[in-house]
Structure 1
Amino acid sequence: LLDEEGSLIFKVDQSGGLQNNTVLSVCEDMDGTLWLGLDNGISFLNLNSPYRIYQDLSGLTGSVYAIQSFDDILYLGTNQGLFYKNPSSESGFTMIPGTEGQVWTLEVFNGTLFCGHHEGTFQIENKKARKIAGIPGTWKISKIPDRSDLLMQGNYGGLNILEFNQGEWGLRNSLENFDHSSRFFEIRNYEIFVNHEYKGLFRIKVDKDFREAQAIEVDTVHRGVNSGLVKYRDDILFAYKEGIFKFDASKKGFEKDTLLSEIFDEGQYVSGRLITDNLGENLWVFTEKNISYVTRGNLDNRNVIRTIPLTEIERRGIRGYESIYGPGDNGDYFIGTSNGYVRLNTEMISEGKFEIRLGEISVSDRSENNVNNFIIDPRDEGEFRNKENNLQIHYYSPEYKALVKPQYQYQLQGMYDDWSDWTENTSVTYSNLPHGSYTFSVRGRAGNSESLNTASYSFSIARPWYLTGLAFMSYFLLAVVGSVLIHRTYRRYYRGHQQALIEENKREMALAKARNDKEIIKLKNKQLKKKFKNKNNELAASTLSIIRKNELLSKVKEQLLSSEDDGTTSVKQIVKIIDKSINRNDDWEMFMKAFNHADQKFLKKLKKAHPNLSPNDIKLCAYLRLNLSSKEIAPLLNISPRSVEIKRYRLRKKMNLTHDSNLTDYILTL
């Protein structure tokens, strides 16, 4: 590419990103983009882009960790070593011998270029490296205020001091009493702040000659992976996932800076790496979606945050080890990537103007297991049948940038009133939309620029046949006919139900009467049992009374007969009176009356079964019916128990009972 005077501006070939080196046609569009027709494809060059990308497709240089421009030479510190090239030359990068391996930092102090390396610290002169300190792992090199002859470097194992002595730089001493890895450190008033990702923030007080750590304080609250520490405008700033914090000397601690912490809002934090440019004017911060930098306002010195729409994916950085150098001689910044660098011209960053346009609209009819697709123009009216309720709407932006991809946000009024999240998709699908009227709207943004317009498309989906006016009229007629049929059916049902209730009530009344009759019978039986029990009790009491009376009289009789005067007339008269009392029929009649009340059927059954029994036999049977023993029966009959046994024997013979049959059991069973 040549300028107006014919001088070469830059050259692009296959090694720089073209698909091949055969360019058959060239076309510049209205935005200044140069389109190249190749023999096997199309490539383009965005001449107005603020970005210039250098990619090492061969993998020679590796991932870039540090960039520095010194004596018109561009230096890259990578994981492969230290490389250099002349920016105006078309040749590639060349490695400086002796620097093979990981390079962590490149710094320029007092006209000298220093290289912090895994193997130690190198001084670069005339494209050659000379090791000046062999302590492994030099993370960072920094000036010591008010000491132009001293530099401090942070290493894997602590802090070390470089000294300029007799025209050469060399290692003077290691800081005693501190041996922690010091990737990030800052110096202020004989205090050193060191950030360790896992152990926290160290605040170290040193002697005036920077030889010994005299006091160490550790803040373990503020720490985190990929955290960073930097000095910006005399403020010590610390950044990690919770925000950006500023050291407050009055409180002797870090306080959150609400303005700067806005950079990490909306979950954009990926790294707390903070970098100041070589002029100390801008503070650079890397987030997921942007590169942000803090600068002074145009009217005052207050901090102002500006963003550059370069995402983490597009810049291909190394998380936690981001690098940026600038501004260079022409105001450009160099941003290290995993396979090269991006050259950024902040003056060319502008808010582009672009529009959003609707593409084709695909409509699907999925009725009856058949899928019928057709495409319509968004300028046509959108009136679809009810089954044509599956739409895919395409939209796009004519703005094309390699590193800034447009994003879209859409809304479907009538279904979803809220706008969607931002997305890079250029189409959206709506399935099974209900009937109704809809308006689809889409808007876009590219980087920090928003689209000039919001594209819209209105359409409607017809009601299904069962929701049309004719369908509702049919529903009304069916409802009327159904109401009549239901009324008649209900009347028949009610009558049948009423008759069933009457029959059920009759059955219930009959069952209730039967239950009542049963209860009455049960009560009568209970009363009869109670009456029978009372009669038995009376009979038992009467029998017991007769037995006791006769026993008493028998004892009196025995006493009289055994007395000395038993032959006198008076004694004999008394004995006769006693015999008469024992043999009185009144007792027997009273007993039989009670016995008949208690057991009315027994005597009838007995006389029917054995009509030849005498009255005395019947009397004995009655006593046996009461289950009385021979001893208890003897007083009642005024005979001895032996005589009772004889009567029992004779009774058995009259009843023709067998030898094995028990007389009492037989009588009890009648």
Structure 2
Amino acid sequence: MITQPFSYITITFTNRIDKPVKLLLLSFFFTTITHGQMKGTGLPNIKNFTKTEYQSGTQNWDIHQDSNGNVYFANNNGLLQYDGSTWRTYRIPNSTNIRSVKFDSISGRIYVGAYNEFGYFESDEKGNLDYVSLIPKIRGDRYKSTDFIWKIHLLNDEVIFQSFTAAYILKDESITVIPVEGRFQFSFKVEDKIYFQDITKGIVQYKNGDMVPLAGTTALNGYEIWGIFPFETDTLLIATLEAGLFVYDGRHVVPWDTEANEFIKKNSSLGGVMVNSNTFVLNSVLGGIIICNRKGEIIQHVDLKKGLKNNTVLSSFIDSSNNLWLGLDNGISYLNINSPFTYFSSSLNLSSVYASITHNGILYVATNQGVFYHRLQGNFTDDSFKLVEGTAAQSWNIQVISDELICANNKGALVIKEGKVDRILDHTGYFGFKKIPEHPNLFIGSNYGGFTIFEITPSGFAFKNRVQGFYNSSKDFDLESGYLWMLRDQLLYQLEFSDNLEEFTVRNKFATLDSDGNGVSTLQKINNTLYFVANNHFYTYSKNFDSFREETGLSELFKEVPPINSISQDSYGNLWYSYNESESLGVLMKTRDGSYTNVMEPFSILKGNFVYNYLSVNTIDPHNIFIGMINGLAHYDSGFSSDNLTKPKVFIRTFSYGDETIVQGNPQEKPADLELPYANNNVKFTFSSPDFENADNIQYSYQLEPFDLQWSHWSKQSIKEYTNLKEGTYTMRVKEKNNYGLESEPATLVFTVNPPWYRHIVAYIGYFMLACLIVYLIRLQVRAKIRKNRYYETIEQRRLYLEKESKIRMEQYRLEKKIQKLNRDRLKTKILAKDKELVNNSLQVVKKNKILSNIIQKLKEMDTESMNDESKAQLSTLKKSITKEINSNSWNDLEKHIKNVHFDFLKRLKEQYPDISPRELDLSTYLLMNMSTKEIAEVMNISNGGVELARYRLRKKLGLGRKENLNGFLMNI
């Protein structure tokens, strides 16, 4: 695929369709939708299941469905069951190759037939399917060897098993055997009648235990009949293996000369099924299936080329949703035929679609590989789209301008006529074209390097000129108010033409259009008015005011819509939009009263399949809408009846705890009281829904009451686990929402988690009794303790009394000691005072002695020679008296007294400082007595300076610093 070197945001839209052509198209398409709900346009969505997926045998011979929606397949390896989420294979003893299956809604049994074995499956107590054989009910041994049981039919209260050799009728739990003289080929139920093909008697009808031949049917004895269908009143349609289709009117068998018959004769029939009263599905050996109407016209043909995994279709079945299951020779296919959507995909040569248009009765599709076309009057069932010659390159758009078809192609601007490129207007790659409103004979094209003007002339389109001055381009552009508006790189350009349309002027660039700063996401004309869209707000440009203003009506219309990427209005006024990064599609359908209805859910089936930023919707009429996708076209019928869209079902498929698994949703489900031991309080649930149409988009919501306070968010997750649940009763609820937005009724499962043994009611009774015993024992112990405490309390009181008495005595002792100490201190103080007084007195005596010594000296110096003897005698007596007075006050006695008083101090000082001299001891004593320097000098008979020097020497010997007080130091010794 060739792409341009830029990134673009583009919308393709439906151009007008001329009225005669539209009438022709309507007539064609109405013929394709008159067959009930069967669509003949496009192919149904096909889902294939391989052996690897369902993990069982290759061949699937028969298909049926139970009342819960589970689908069953008669498979080589056993009974294959599919619940929408999980495949399960149930085997039967002694045989695996099952050929037939039938569900009985009355008994809930699933009857199966195999080789030399037939019986039924029913649910056991855990919901699993168990097999019960009916062979023992056959009387005698002759018919117990049954060969293959090919067909099973339910008729009133009988179950009929058909093999080649006999028919086995189960009624009232007993079996009656109806043998055949020759051989039964196959048997068929048509409405309320059972027909067998007897290879010798023709077709016989089973009536009340007898086989009644039908007249004129022996003509088919040489052919294998694989299908009988109700046709018209008292008429049957018969499908044979190789001879084709026949109509039986009650007397004659005649070939059904139709298109369907030609197909069957060419590809061989393997039976089929009726879709409705007007439509048949016919299986084939070589060509897949065809779906035809009562006229024998083939509405659909689906084979290997168109999506099946195998062309040999062994069985077909219409399920409860009116969709088609096919059992293949190798695999299983599911066809969503009851859907408003069908598809044109790679099987019909289409790839990524960027635009589509109808012109002159032909549908043209622009893809990444070129432009393809198909006549609408033709048959879509057989042939494919054809490539328009010369367009094999990236094609961005296909449009009709002035009744001519023009393609925006990587090769240039291409004019297409009669299935080929008629001429190339310009070889530059183009994105699209728009007519210029003010110049009806001109239109403009956006190419890889700017814009080009083309002219509409009588002889056709012609290149006019390139517009100079602006060389960027985009697929998102339009013209209004004399300006060209272009959206590129999140910027909106306002380009103004010159008068001759040969040049552009960039008048303005807009990053946002409102105060909220929302960038422009797309631009599009709606009802001939150009709108600029920013976050779902719609704006128009006013040339008079040169400003943007919001169109509140459209903005309000899109208020509840997710932010859109692109928007397009079709010819019926419907507004199509893409959102979620162009992953999803929605439409506001216009009603007759002019209002709009928002439709989103049906398109969820297409989610993720759209070309990014290319919204391609081609509406021919409400029943025929073509939508471009990355893998082709989707055909949508908006008028498709929703009567068949039944409310979906949901099941809690399995409930697992510990090693146990309970299965729900199988027939004959037996109610069970689910009580879980506390050790298994980790549980797991799996969910399923037999909503096969779009299983990938099924969403589940669940709530475990009372654990979850509210429903969970919608999710595709089909498994939920809970761990460490507390004891109690729980209710699990699950609901499902399908791709049409329909919600199911909740499925419920109630279970109880028993408490652990230590929280069981019996345990609580034991706890209560134990508590009572403990209370009783505690009471006894408390009483004993009270008595003991009283005894110890008495002892303790006695001890406290003694301690208190002892403390009082000790306190008295301490007080006495304190008193004694105080007395000693007081006495010591008195002694010190007395010592001081004694020293003072001694000093006075010393002074007096000095005075007396001076007096004696004076007396000695007196001239005694001049004195008489009496005077001499008196003077001598006076000297003696004074000398006696001096000698009576000895200083030695005072010093001795001081040393005795301060003996302890002197002892401690001598012990601490052994090197101290006696004179220093005396000085220390005088200092301790707080004597002044003068007093010490007098006592020690030295000068005041001598005292200071002695103090200095004493401080040095005591190791005192200058700032330390000597007297305080001595007092602390």
Counterpart for residue 673 of structure 2? 382
Residues 631 and 443 of structure 1, relative CA distance in 2, 3 Å threshold: closer
Q: Which amino acid aligns with 2:358?
A: S
**Matches of 1:187 and 1:207 in 2, distance apart?**
14
Q: How far 1:38 moved relative to its partner?
A: 1.5
| TM-score of the pair, normalised by structure 1 | 0.74
Q: Which amino acid aligns with 1:228?
A: T
Asked whether the 8 Å contact 1:195–1:201 carries over to 2, the reply is: yes
Counterpart for residue 4 of structure 1? 294
Counterpart for residue 293 of structure 1? 587
Counterpart for residue 75 of structure 1? 364
SS of 1:311's partner is helix
2:875 is equivalent to residue 585 of structure 1: no
RMSD: 5.0
SS of 1:482's partner is helix
1:37 to 327, 331, 343: 327
Q: How far 1:314 moved relative to its partner?
A: 4.3
Deviates more, 1:535-544 or 1:36-45: 535-544
2:523 to 219, 229, 239: 229
**Matches of 1:72 and 1:203 in 2, distance apart?**
38
Greater percentage in helix: 1
User: Percent identity between the aligned chains?
Assistant: 23
Counterpart for residue 316 of structure 1? 609
Residue correspondence of structure 1 range 207-218 to structure 2 within 5 A: 207=498, 210-214=501-505, 216-218=507-509
**Matches of 2:808 and 2:390 in 1, distance apart?**
119
Residues 640 and 224 of structure 1, relative CA distance in 2, 3 Å threshold: closer
2:510 is equivalent to residue 219 of structure 1: yes
Deviates more, 1:383-392 or 1:628-637: 628-637
Deviates more, 1:478-487 or 1:201-210: 201-210
SS of 1:15's partner is coil
Residues 442 and 501 of structure 1, relative CA distance in 2, 3 Å threshold: farther
**Matches of 1:126 and 1:504 in 2, distance apart?**
130
SS of 1:48's partner is coil
Deviates more, 1:491-500 or 1:372-381: 491-500
**Matches of 2:466 and 2:855 in 1, distance apart?**
145
Counterpart for residue 636 of structure 1? 939
Listed one character per residue, the Cα deviations across residues 34-73 of structure 1 (whole Å, up to 9, x for unaligned) are 3322211222333331111223169x75422222333333
SS of 2:620's partner is coil
**Matches of 2:410 and 2:888 in 1, distance apart?**
146
2:416 is equivalent to residue 113 of structure 1: no
2:314 is equivalent to residue 24 of structure 1: yes
Asked whether the 8 Å contact 1:227–1:320 carries over to 2, the reply is: no
Counterpart for residue 273 of structure 1? 566
**Matches of 1:248 and 1:542 in 2, distance apart?**
129
Counterpart for residue 737 of structure 2? 445
Listed one character per residue, the Cα deviations across residues 91-140 of structure 1 (whole Å, up to 9, x for unaligned) are 3344445434432222211112222233432222233333323444x333
Listed one character per residue, the Cα deviations across residues 193-229 of structure 1 (whole Å, up to 9, x for unaligned) are 322243x223344456544445623332368899322
**Matches of 2:848 and 2:529 in 1, distance apart?**
135
Q: Which amino acid aligns with 1:414?
A: P
Asked whether the 8 Å contact 1:381–1:459 carries over to 2, the reply is: no
| TM-score of the pair, normalised by structure 2 | 0.53
SS of 1:472's partner is helix
Q: Which amino acid aligns with 1:160?
A: T
Listed one character per residue, the Cα deviations across residues 399-438 of structure 1 (whole Å, up to 9, x for unaligned) are 4314884433333333324222223445544455433333
Q: Which amino acid aligns with 2:344?
A: Y
Counterpart for residue 870 of structure 2? none
Runs of 5+ in structure 2 lacking a partner?
1-290, 865-874, 911-917, 945-972
Asked whether the 8 Å contact 1:360–1:378 carries over to 2, the reply is: no
Residues 436 and 237 of structure 1, relative CA distance in 2, 3 Å threshold: farther
Runs of 5+ in structure 1 lacking a partner?
607-617, 642-669
Q: How far 1:476 moved relative to its partner?
A: 1.6
Residue correspondence of structure 1 range 122-137 to structure 2 within 5 A: 122-129=414-421, 130-136=423-429
Q: Which amino acid aligns with 1:105?
A: N
Q: Which amino acid aligns with 2:673?
A: G
Listed one character per residue, the Cα deviations across residues 545-568 of structure 1 (whole Å, up to 9, x for unaligned) are 966995898699889989xx9757
Q: Which amino acid aligns with 2:575?
A: L
Q: Which amino acid aligns with 2:889?
A: N
Aligned residues: 612
2:556 is equivalent to residue 259 of structure 1: yes
Q: How far 1:79 moved relative to its partner?
A: 2.7
Residue correspondence of structure 1 range 226-625 to structure 2 within 5 A: 227-239=521-533, 242-247=535-540, 249=542, 252-253=547-548, 255=550, 258-262=555-559, 264-265=561-562, 272-277=565-570, 279=571, 281-288=573-580, 291-299=585-593, 301-311=594-604, 314=607, 316-321=609-614, 323-328=615-620, 331-348=623-640, 350=642, 352-358=645-651, 360-364=653-657, 366=658, 371-375=659-663, 379-387=670-678, 389=681, 391-393=683-685, 395-402=687-694, 405-426=697-718, 428-451=720-743, 453-490=745-782, 495=788, 539=835, 543=839, 585=889, 596-599=900-903
Asked whether the 8 Å contact 1:191–1:206 carries over to 2, the reply is: yes
Q: How far 1:479 moved relative to its partner?
A: 0.7
Residues 326 and 591 of structure 1, relative CA distance in 2, 3 Å threshold: same
**Matches of 1:379 and 1:594 in 2, distance apart?**
125
Residues 581 and 462 of structure 1, relative CA distance in 2, 3 Å threshold: same
Listed one character per residue, the Cα deviations across residues 486-518 of structure 1 (whole Å, up to 9, x for unaligned) are 344456667569669769968986789879977
Q: How far 1:150 moved relative to its partner?
A: 1.6
Listed one character per residue, the Cα deviations across residues 332-378 of structure 1 (whole Å, up to 9, x for unaligned) are 222222222211121116361224253654343x3xxxx34454675
**Matches of 2:472 and 2:814 in 1, distance apart?**
105
